Amino acid sequence: MKTMELRVTVNGQPRKWSIGPGDLLLDVLRREGFFGVKRGCEKGECGSCTVLVDGRAVNSCLMFAAKVQGCEVLTIEGLADGDRLDPIQGAFLDHGAAQCGFCTPGMILAAKWLLDKNPHPSEDEVREAMAGVLCRCTGYIKPVEAVLAAAKQPAKRATRKREPAGVAR
């Protein structure tokens, strides 16, 4: 099979991967050990595979890996700063917003995408921004509470913006 070289920054680290032209971002990320990216439907309907590509939440099951050439990808594994959790992650723990935890990475990244562009969202805005992620455990109540609580900690959120290691665009 023909392969191509993918240069991408994942969680701040530049990577060079050999991929097939039809490979999906979900499959490539999991193959490379980013197991926090979950396979829930492979049709862009459940949001469990959500990652941020250049800051934007996408369903990685719908995106060809080749599309992220030169991009910056953030997966759940890259959100905490060492042992220091992102306030969204901490809020998910404090509010009991993760039950089985399978959709949790997608939820947290959708929340990050929202709070990065809208640091003080209303409840409706939270629900709208996260509508692409389905959850069968929580009934969505505690995840919404968690995101709203995380939004009240802007200082903490601001401090953990990390400079990505350089990558050729």
Partner 1 sequence: MTGRKVVGVNVRKVEGHKLVTGAPAFTDDIEMQGMLYGKILPSPHAHARIKRIDTRKAKALAGVHAVLTYKDVPRVPHTTAGQAWPEPSPYDTYLLDSKVRFVGDRVAAVAAESRAIAEKALRLIEVDYEVLPAVIDMELAMAPGAAVIHDEPDSTKIYDRSHNIAGYILREIGSVEQGFRESDFVVEREFRTHRQQHTPLEPHITICWLDPNGRLVIRTSSQVPYHTRRQVGQILQIPVSSIHVIKPRMGGGFGGKQEMLLEDICGALTLASRRPVKMEFTREEEFYMARSRHPQRLRMKMGVKRDGTVLASQLTVLATTGAYGSHSTTVQGNTGSKVLPLYRAPHMRFECHVVYTNAPVAGAFRGYGCPQGFFAQETLVDEIACELGMDPLDFHRMNVIRLGDTDLLSAQLGEGKEGLPRVVRSCGLPQCMESAARAIGWAQKRKKFPSGHSHLRRGVGMACTMQGSGIAGVDWASAFLKMNEDGSFYLQVGASDVGAGADTVLSQIAAETLGVTLDKVIITSGDTDITPFDVGAYASSTTIISGGAVKKAAGKVRAQVLEVASRMLDAPVDQLDCANNEVFTTCACRKAVSMTDLAMQAMYKEKFQIMDGASHFNTDSPPPFCATFAEVEVDTETGQVHVLHLASAVDPGTAINPMQAEGQVEGAVAQGLGYALTEELVLDADGRPLNPNFLDYKMFGFQDMPKLTTILIETDEPLGPYGAKSISEVPINGPAPAIANAIFHAVGIRIRKLPIRPEDVLRALHAERPANLDEEAMFAL
Residues in the site for partner 1, rule: CB under 8 A?
30-31, 33-43, 45-46, 48, 75-77, 79-80, 85, 89, 92-96, 98-105, 108, 126-128, 130-131, 133-144
Q: Tell me how far, at minimum, the Cβ of 37 lies from partner 1, in Å.
A: 8
Residue 115 in 3-state DSSP? helix
Residue closer to partner 1 (CB basis): 96 or 154: 96
Residue closer to partner 1 by CB (options 83, 163) is 83
Residue 7 or 39 having the CB closest to partner 1: 39
Minimum distance between the CB of residue 126 and partner 1, rounded to whole angstroms?
8
SS (H, E, C) 7-52: EEEECCEEEEEEECCCCEHHHHHHHCCCCCCCCCCCCCCCCCCEEE
Q: The tokens of 47 are what?
A: 């949001």
Angle 109-111-113 (CA atoms, 0-180°, nearest 5)? Answer: 70
- Smallest distance from the beta carbon of 71 to partner 1, in angstroms? 19
Nearer to partner 1, 66 or 85 (CB): 85
Cβ at position 168, least distance to partner 1 in Å: 27
Residue 111 CA to residue 162 CA, distance in Å, equals 18
Q: How far is the CB of 35 from partner 1 (least distance, A)?
A: 4
Q: Looking at beta carbons only, is 8 or 103 nearer to partner 1?
A: 103
- Cα 136 to Cα 48, 102, 133, 165: the distances in Å are 11, 10, 10, 37
In 20-139, at which residue ranges do the beta strands (DSSP E only) sit? Answer: 50-53, 56-59, 72-74
